[in-house]
């Protein structure tokens, strides 16, 4: 039987062998504590009383309403682009987070398993855009809280068929009266082979900043499959929100690398990893948004 020496450890994910270092030649706990105290005292002497404060790391709120998230965004006073959309709060120092569809790619993905909160995340964006007087088109081929937006001012069309035609989507585009428009597609995997696919591809490949953006929500496994079609173009955005990811390959949808630990957490509605395209993913909580 192999004997494991004191201080030896192994990484759970990779099996890499590690060795903890001693702060003092004496391995007893009392000696190590004294050594740590000496290190802290020397650090205090070097930095003095005006040392910078420790970094703050706030926990995610236990619950969050849309009104609270919107207020947090308003209180920061941060200037945002014309197609910036609020999607949640989080970060080391809790603040509002969103994605600007007028900068970089004109699209973002929202992916997660059932009951992870992906439709609520899409609804949060929809509510925010409508409040900013940005017109939207909603495509929801399955029952979705987004269908509750029917009849709202600024909603140019609510399409509920999985066989959306190019004519239907073009007609909705032609109702546009403002410079800004966002198309929000829920359960987008059901629209993979719809007749409007070519029009969606054309929209995805337009230059960001022309006033049109797309929010694409769906099942991560189904969004990841296929080698052609408009969903392949959507994946090129390499940004978006992953809710309760179940596989490390889910990270490819939003351009990040996931660890096995990221995929083994229980499904918690609304908690996800947001990547805005800046290479800095952050864990956020999506507000409980209703129509």
Residue-number span of the structural domain to which 21 is assigned: 8-47
Same domain, 164 and 21: no
Both structure tokens of 97:
């987070």
- Stronger pLDDT, 50 or 218, i.e. the higher one: 218
Residue 184: per-residue pLDDT: 99
Same domain, 12 and 153: no
pTM: 0.81
The 10s digit of each residue's pLDDT in 17-45 is: 888 899 999 988 898 899 999 998 888 77
Lowest mean pLDDT among 46-50, 65-69, 159-163, 171-175: 46-50
How many other C-beta atoms can be found within 10 angstroms of the C-beta atom of residue 280? 10
Taking CA atoms, 131 is separated from 90, 154, 197, in Å, by 22, 9, 29
Same domain, 13 and 83: no
Q: Alpha helix locations (H) across 48-165? A: 66-76, 118-131
Residue 169 near residue 196, CB atoms below 8 Å? yes
pLDDT at 50 over 80: no
Q: Is residue 217 part of a domain?
A: yes
pLDDT at 111 over 60: yes
Residue 278 near residue 101, CB atoms below 8 Å? no
Instruction: Point out which residues pair with 213 in neighbouring strands.
Output: 182
Please count the structural domains in the chain: 2
């Amino acid at each position: 039987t192999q004997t494991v020496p004191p201080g030896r450890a192994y990484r759970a994910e990779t099996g890499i062998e590690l060795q903890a270092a001693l702060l003092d030649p004496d391995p007893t706990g009392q000696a190590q504590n004294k050594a740590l105290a000496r290190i802290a005292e020397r650090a205090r002497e070097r930095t003095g009383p005006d040392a910078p404060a420790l970094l703050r790391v706030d926990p995610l709120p236990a619950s969050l309403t849309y009104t609270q998230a919107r207020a947090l965004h308003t209180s920061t006073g941060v200037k945002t682009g014309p197609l910036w959309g609020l999607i949640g709060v989080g970060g080391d120092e809790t603040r509002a987070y969103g994605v600007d569809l007028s900068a970089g790619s004109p699209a973002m993905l929202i992916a997660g398993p059932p009951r992870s909160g992906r439709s609520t995340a899409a609804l949060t964006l929809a509510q925010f855009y409508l409040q900013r007087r940005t017109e939207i088109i909603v495509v929801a081929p399955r029952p979705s809280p987004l269908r509750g937006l029917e009849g709202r001012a600024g909603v140019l069309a609510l399409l509920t068929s999985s066989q959306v035609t190019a004519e239907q989507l073009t007609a909705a585009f032609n109702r546009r009266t403002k410079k800004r428009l966002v198309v929000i597609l829920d359960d987008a995997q059901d629209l993979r082979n719809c007749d409007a696919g070519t029009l969606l591809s054309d929209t995805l490949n337009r230059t960001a900043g022309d006033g049109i953006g797309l929010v694409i929500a769906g099942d991560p496994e189904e969004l990841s499959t296929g080698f052609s079609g408009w969903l392949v173009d959507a994946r090129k955005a390499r940004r978006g929100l992953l809710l309760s990811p179940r596989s490390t390959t889910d990270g490819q949808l939003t351009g990040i690398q996931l660890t096995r630990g990221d995929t083994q957490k229980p499904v918690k509605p609304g908690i996800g990893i947001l990547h805005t395209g800046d290479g800095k993913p952050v864990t956020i909580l999506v507000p409980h948004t209703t129509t």
